[in-house]
Amino acid sequence: MNRKYSHGLVWFRRDLRVDDHAALYHALKACRQVFCVFVFDRDILDALPRADRRVEFIRESLVDLDRQLAELARPHGRSNVGLIVQHARATEALPALARALSVDAVFTNHDDEPQSQARDAVVAKALAADGKAFHSFKDHVVFEREEIMTLGGKPYSVFTPYQNAWLRKVDDFYLKAYPVQRYAPALAARPTACRMAVPALVDIGFAQTNFAKLRIPTGSHGGMQLLDDFMTRIDQYHATRDFPAVRGPSYLGVHLRFGTVSIRRLAAAALQLRDQGNPGASVWLSELIWRDFYAQILSNFPHVAERSFKPAYDAIAWEQEPRASTLFQAWCKGRTGYPLIDAAMAQINQTGYMHNRLRMVTASFLVKDLGIDWRRGEKYFAEQLNDFDLSANNGGWQWASSSGCDAQPYFRIFNPVSQSEKFDADGKFIRKYLPQLAGLSGASLHSPWLATPLELAGAGVRLGDNYPLPIVRHDEARALTLQRYAPVRKSPAG
Given 147, 300, 318, 383, which residue is catalytic?
Answer: 318
Among residues 284, 290, 331, 399, the one annotated as catalytic is 290
**Selected catalytic residue, list 56, 397, 399, 455:** 397
Those residues whose C-beta lies under 8 Å from the C-beta of residue 119, and which sit 6 or more positions away, are 41, 43, 90, 91
Q: Confidence band (pLDDT; 50, 70, 90) for 481?
A: very high
pLDDT given at position 43: 97
End-to-end CA separation in angstroms for the chain: 59
> Could you read off the pLDDT of 382-394 as tens digits, one per residue?
999 999 999 999 9
Q: Tell me: the pLDDT tens digits for 30-81?
A: 999 999 999 999 999 999 999 999 999 999 999 999 999 999 999 999 999 9
User: Hey, where are the domains in the chain?
Assistant: 1-139, 141-177+219-300, 311-488
**Can you give the pLDDT at residue 492?**
53
Q: What is the mean pLDDT of residues 253-257?
A: 98
What's the pLDDT score for residue 336? 98
The one catalytic residue in 300, 319, 349, 356 is 356
356 is catalytic: yes
> Apex CA 365: angle with CA 361 and CA 370, to 5°?
175
Would you call 287 a catalytic residue per the annotation? yes
- Is the predicted pLDDT of residue 491 greater than 70, yes or no? no
**How confident is the model at residue 406, as a pLDDT?**
84
pLDDT level of residue 2 (50, 70, 90 thresholds): low
**408 pLDDT tier (thresholds 50, 70, 90):** confident
Q: Tens digits of per-residue pLDDT, 187-217?
A: 999 999 999 999 999 999 999 999 999 999 9
CATH architecture of 311-488: Orthogonal Bundle (1.10)
Which whole number is the average pLDDT over 311-331?
A: 96
Q: Name the band, by pLDDT with cuts 50, 70 and 90, for residue 410.
A: confident
Q: Is the pLDDT of residue 493 over 60?
A: no
Amino acid at 367: V
Please identify which of the residues 11, 166, 284, 374 carries the catalytic annotation.
374
User: What per-residue confidence (pLDDT) applies to 86?
Assistant: 97
- Is 60 exceeded by the pLDDT of residue 1? no
Active site residue 80: no
pLDDT averaged over the chain? 96
d(C-alpha 91, C-alpha 115), whole Å: 12
Q: Say yes or no: domain 1-139 is CATH 3.40.190.10.
A: no
User: Which amino acid, residue 317?
Assistant: A
Question: Active site residue: 92, 287, 383, 421, which one?
Answer: 287
pLDDT of residue 256: 98
Length of the chain: 494
Percentage of the chain surpassing pLDDT 70? 98
pLDDT tier at 277, thresholds 50, 70, 90: very high
The C-alpha atoms of residue 432 and residue 455 are separated, in whole angstroms, by: 20
Separation of alpha carbons 470 and 348, rounded Å = 20
Alpha helices in 204-338 (DSSP H): 211-214, 219-231, 237-240, 253-257, 263-275, 279-300, 323-332
Rounded Cα distance between 338 and 487, Å, is: 29
Model confidence band, residue 490 (pLDDT cutoffs 50, 70, 90):
low
Tell me, yes or no, if 318 is annotated catalytic. Answer: yes
For 341-361, how does the pLDDT look when each residue is reduced to its tens digit (9 = 90+)? Answer: 999 999 999 999 999 999 999
DSSP helix/strand/coil, 205: coil
> Same CATH fold, 141-177+219-300 and 1-139?
no
pLDDT for res 407: 82
Fold for the domain defined by 141-177+219-300: 1.25.40
- DSSP-derived secondary structure for 408-434: PPTT----HHHHHHHHSTT-HHHHHH-
397 is catalytic: yes
Looking at residue 488, what is its pLDDT?
83
Which pLDDT tens digit goes with each residue over 152-189? 999 999 999 999 999 999 999 999 999 999 999 999 99
State residue 486's pLDDT score: 87
**Quick one: pLDDT at residue 487?**
83
